[in-house]
Amino acid sequence: MSLEFRCAAVGVTDCKAATHAETADELLEKVAAHALDVHGVELNETLINYALTTVEEK
Ligand SMILES: [Zn+2]
């Protein structure tokens, strides 16, 4: 099982990136790094909670 997060799922429709990880902690770490590097957005608790609602288990 792995977890998948897509920027498109939270409304960033011009970003095709998908982030995968084995655990939610690892996923959030990768998503936070991506958000900052690619989108210049620092994740706060609200954004993290919203992002977690869109995470899919594959
Ligand atoms: Zn993105």
Average pLDDT score over the chain:
96
Amino acid at 22: E
- pLDDT of res. 9: 96
Q: How far is the CA of 52 from the centre of ligand 1 (A)?
A: 15
Q: Where are the domains of the chain?
A: 3-57
Q: How far is the CA of 2 from the centre of ligand 1 (A)?
A: 19
Distance 1 CA to ligand 1 centre (A): 22
Residue 19 has pLDDT above 90, yes or no: yes
Q: Which residues of 23-46 are buried (b: 16+ CB within 10 A; e: fewer)?
A: eeeebbeebbebbeeeeeeebeee
The answer to whether the beta carbons of residues 39 and 15 sit under 8 Å apart is yes
Provide the whole-model pTM. Answer: 0.90
